[in-house]
């Protein structure tokens, strides 16, 4: 299903923690279950971890070699209007199928070539929510620990599987109490806007770091 506009609002308490899921099983006996949970639960094997690169900043767990980002501010205490983050990655078929498995959105428009060719798009397209996920990835690369408070999104054009996308978030208002309003846009490889929107985030201290030393 494709959307023209959606509004997502996080409940007032942004600090609710989510426990990590751990698989305790024999590789020989549960190999198929592990493959399923890699997509559905974000569980990774040791081999997968070896493919990841060490995180360049403290607020993320790892990066992939093909991802790139840049930001204009390195200290959370210095975040101000005009500061921005750019995050770029290719959305490939594995991403689309993993997202369908994890989310349960198995709309044939995203997964079935023969079905999609007869739609208005003429081919399979990326889930809109998967594309908007790049906004979250960009926000996570602000200095400090970024916590979503709200997000408004408008989908402007479809994204083809294999497209390179860039999410750009820019601070447009310092609300106070470490909260910021940001423009949140996603662009395709032709620099055309595929998503536009606005988010409000709270930038908290990273665990183990005192205010004034966030990064």
Residue-level pLDDT at 20 = 38
In this structure, how many other beta carbons lie within 10 angstroms of the beta carbon of residue 124? 22
Asked if the structure places residue 3 within a domain, the reply is no
- Strand order in 179-187's β-sheet? 5-9, 145-155, 193-204, 179-187, 164-176, 84-90, 68-71
The beta strand positions in the chain, using DSSP E, are 5-9, 68-71, 84-90, 145-155, 164-176, 179-187, 193-204
Count of structural domains, the chain: 1
Q: Decide if 167 is inside a domain.
A: yes
pLDDT at 130: 98
Contact 30, 43 (CB under 8 A): no
For 208: left if phi > 0, alpha if psi spans -120 to 50, otherwise beta; the answer is left
42 lies in some domain: yes
Residues 6+ apart with CB under 8 A from 94: none
What is the domain-level CATH number for residue 75? 3.10.129.10
In a domain, 87, yes or no: yes
Domain housing 46 = 25-92+128-204
Dihedral angle, C-alpha 190, 185, 60, 200, nearest 10 °: 180
> 175 near 181, Cβ under 8 Å?
yes
Q: Cα separation of 165 and 187, whole Å?
A: 6
Q: Does the residue 29 lie in any domain? A: yes
**SS3 label, residue 95:** helix
Could you list the pLDDT tens digit for every one of the 215 residues in the chain?
A: 444 444 544 445 443 443 333 333 333 333 443 344 444 434 444 444 457 888 889 999 999 999 999 999 999 999 999 999 999 999 999 999 999 999 999 999 999 999 999 999 999 999 999 999 999 999 999 999 999 999 999 999 999 999 999 999 999 999 999 999 999 999 999 999 999 999 999 999 999 765 544 45
Domain-located, residue 182: yes
> Is 158 domain-assigned?
yes
Within-domain flag for 81: yes
pTM of model > 0.85: no
CA-to-CA dists, residue 144 to 41, 56, 185, 215, angstroms: 25, 13, 21, 5
pLDDT of residue 23: 34
């Amino acid at each position: 299903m494709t959307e023209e506009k959606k509004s997502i609002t996080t409940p007032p308490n942004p600090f609710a923690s989510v426990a990590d899921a751990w698989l305790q099983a024999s590789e020989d006996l549960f190999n198929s279950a592990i493959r399923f949970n890699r997509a559905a639960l974000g569980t990774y094997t040791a081999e997968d971890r070896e493919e990841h690169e060490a995180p360049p900043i403290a607020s993320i767990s790892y990066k992939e070699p093909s991802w790139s980002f840049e930001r204009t501010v390195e200290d959370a205490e210095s975040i101000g209007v005009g500061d921005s983050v750019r995050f770029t990655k290719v959305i490939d078929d594995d991403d689309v199928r993993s997202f369908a498995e994890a989310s349960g959105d198995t709309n044939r428009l995203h997964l079935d070539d023969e079905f999609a060719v007869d739609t208005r798009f003429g081919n399979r397209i990326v889930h809109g929510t998967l594309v908007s996920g790049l906004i979250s990835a960009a926000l996570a690369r602000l200095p400090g620990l970024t916590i979503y408070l709200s997000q408004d999104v408008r989908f402007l054009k479809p994204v083809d599987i294999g497209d390179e996308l860039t999410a750009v978030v820019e601070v447009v208002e310092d609300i106070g109490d470490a909260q910021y309003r940001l423009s949140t846009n996603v662009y395709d490889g032709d620099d055309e806007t595929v998503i536009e929107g606005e988010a409000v985030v709270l930038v908290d201290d990273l665990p183990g770091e005192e205010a004034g030393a966030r990064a």
